[in-house]
Amino acid sequence: MLHHTFSCMIVDDNEIDRLTALAHARQYPELNVVGVFESAEEALVRLQDAPVDVLLLDVDMPGLNGLELREQLMHIPVCVFITAYPDYAADSFAVDAFDYLVKPVRADRFGHTMSRIQQFFELRRKARLFDLSLGADTIFIKDGHRQIKVSLHEVIYLEGLKDYTRIVTTTQPYTVLSSIGNLLLTAPFQSFLRIHRSYAVQRHYIDRIDTQQIHVRQFALPVGRSYRSALDAVRPDGRNEK
């Protein structure tokens, strides 16, 4: 069975804790530790040029703390905080912590986190977006090990769900691993009309345009204020606006 590796960085101002985290990480060959740092500032310099998949961060560090470092590195998919202070847990999940481990970390607890990380990256791998080999009129959406053929004409609208996008078709919805912004940059979706930070629609499905909503088939979708001017191009006349 093929094992996928994930690059990892450890940041902790305490030498014993750094070595302990490194010892735990080395028990998992799929976790490739590419850097160990004693300060968030040093790690940040390294990460500007070479982002990683997994961060193992202490929270309470002098200067830039772990929470502040994470705020600057939200593009890194997995951040696990390892700290002696359980009181930071709520703050950590506000910056998308994947897990929160309290020192001293037991081997079985670290193993549970690693199992979840492996499952997370496996889901990402399976959800990798498209095989566009049949051209712009047809897309293949990966669903586990299957590839589902979808006619672009059948796609009614897109809904952004942070790092994922829900593709709603005339038959059923699919969820793919891509932000809606990135998806709209791809050739098949460049003709879609962005109506909201989280929504884009296929023009020929628009039934009615109101001031704050667009009606497509049985769906009523919100119109963002900054996107209203884009609707002028699709209104045949004032009769579509209420």
Read off the pLDDT of residues 106-117 as tens digits, 9 standing for 90 and up. Answer: 999 999 999 999
| Of 213, 205, 215, 209, residue with least CA distance to 170 | 205
Global pTM value: 0.55
Q: DSSP secondary structure string, 105-120?
A: PPHHHHHHHHHHHHHH
Q: For the structural domain made of 138-240, what CATH number should be given?
A: 2.40.50.1020
Average pLDDT over residues 143-162: 83
- Alpha carbon 17 to chain centroid, angstroms: 29
> Mean pLDDT across the chain, nearest whole number?
85
Between residues 79 and 122, the one the model is more confident about: 79
- Stretch (H or E) spanning 195: strand 193-196
CATH topology of domain 6-126: Rossmann fold (3.40.50)
What is the DSSP pairing of strand 99-102 with strand 78-83? parallel
Residues 6+ apart with CB under 8 A from 22: 10, 33, 36
State pLDDT tens for residues 170-181.
Answer: 988 888 888 898
pLDDT of residue 130 exceeding 80: no
Q: What is the pLDDT of residue 233?
A: 60
- Give the whole-angstrom CA distance, residue 219 versus residue 74: 32
- Give the whole-angstrom CA distance, residue 214 versus residue 137: 24
Retrieve residue 33's tokens: 């530790």
> Could you give the residue ranges of the DSSP H alpha helices within 36-126?
40-49, 66-71, 89-94, 107-126
Domain ranges in the chain are 6-126, 138-240
